Chains A and B, each alone.
Chain A
Amino acid sequence: MIELYEYLSVNALLFSMGVAGIFINRKNILSLFMCVELLLLCASSNFIAFSYYLSDVQGQIFVLFILTVAAAETAIGLSILVLLFRKKQAINVDALNDLKG
Chain B
Amino acid sequence: MNLTIKAQALIVLLAPLGASLIIGLCHKRLSKKSAHRFALFSMTLSLITSLYLLKMFYCDESSVSIPLYTWAESKGFNLSVGLFIDRLSVMMIAMVTLISWLVHLYSIAYMAEDTGYQRFFCYIAFFTFSMLALVMSNNFLQLFFGWEMVGLASYLLIGFWFHKETAVFAGLKAFIINRIGDCGFLIGIAGIWYCCGSLDYAIVFQKVQAGFLQLQYPWMPTFICLGLLMGAMAKSAQIPLHVWLPDSMEGPTPISALIHAATMVTAGVFMIARLSVLFECSSLALNTLLVIGSLTCVLMGLVALVQNDIKRIIAYSTLSQLGYMMMAMGASAYTAGMFHLFTHACFKALLFLAAGSIIMRAHHEQDIWKIAPIHFSMPITYSTMLIASLALIGIPFFSGFYSKDLILEGLRLSEQALAPMAYSSALLGVLITTLYTFRLFFVVFHRKEPLGLQNAQIDESSWVITLPLIVLAFFSLTLGMLGFSSFKNSINHTVDALSMGLHGFFQTPFIFNIVGIFICYLCYLRNPALSALIRRRCAWVHSVLSKKYGFDAFYSSLFEQLKQLGALCWNGLEQHWIDGIGINGSAAGIQRLSLMIRRLQTGYIYHYVFIMIVAFILLVGFCLFLSPFNLQG
Residue numbers of A with Cβ under 8 A of B are 19, 22-23, 25-26, 29, 32, 93-94, 96-101
Contact = CB atoms under 8 A, between A and B. Distances in A.
Nearest to A22: B609
Given A100-B603, A101-B602, 5 more contacts: A25-B606, A93-B604, A93-B605, A93-B606, A101-B603
Interface in B570-608: 597-606
Interface of B: 597-606, 609-610, 613
Contact of A100 (B597, B602, B606, B613): B602
A23 B603 contact: no
15 contacts: A22-B606, A23-B609, A26-B606, A32-B605, A94-B604, A96-B603, A97-B602, A97-B603, A98-B603, A99-B603, A100-B602, A101-B598, A101-B600, A101-B601, A101-B603
A100 B609 contact: no
A95 to B, nearest CB: 10
Contacts of B601: 99-101
A23 B610 contact: yes
A23 B602 contact: no
A22 B609 CA distance: 8
Instruction: Label chain B's interface by main secondary structure.
Output: helix
Nearest to B610: A23
Contacts of A97: 602-604
Contacts of B603: 96-101
A19 B271 CA distance: 88
A60 to B, nearest CB: 25
B606 A23 contact: yes
Contacts of A22: 606, 609-610
Contacts of A94: 604
B620 to A, nearest CB: 14
Contacts of B598: 101
A34 B403 CA distance: 109
- Nearest first, the 5 closest Cβ-Cβ pairs linking A and B are A101-B601, A97-B603, A100-B603, A101-B598, A99-B603
Nearest to A96: B605
B97 to A, nearest CB: 74
A101 B603 CA distance: 7
Contacts of A25: 606
B596 to A, nearest CB: 11
Contacts of A98: 603
Q: Quick one: which of A29, A93, A94, A101 has the most chain B CB within 10 A?
A: A101
A83 to B, nearest CB: 16
Contacts of B600: 101
A100 B601 CA distance: 5
B338 to A, nearest CB: 77
Contacts of A29: 605
A101 B606 contact: no
Contacts of A93: 604-606
Contacts of A99: 601, 603
A27 to B, nearest CB: 11
A14 B25 CA distance: 86
Contacts of B597: 101
A32 B597 CA distance: 27
A101 B599 CA distance: 6
A101 B607 CA distance: 13
A2 B488 CA distance: 127
A23 B609 CA distance: 8
A32 B598 CA distance: 25
A55 B598 CA distance: 50
A87 to B, nearest CB: 16
Contacts of A101: 597-603
A63 to B, nearest CB: 21
A99 B604 CA distance: 8
A19 B613 contact: yes
B628 to A, nearest CB: 28
A77 B602 CA distance: 21
A23 B601 CA distance: 17
Contacts of B609: 22-23
B545 to A, nearest CB: 77
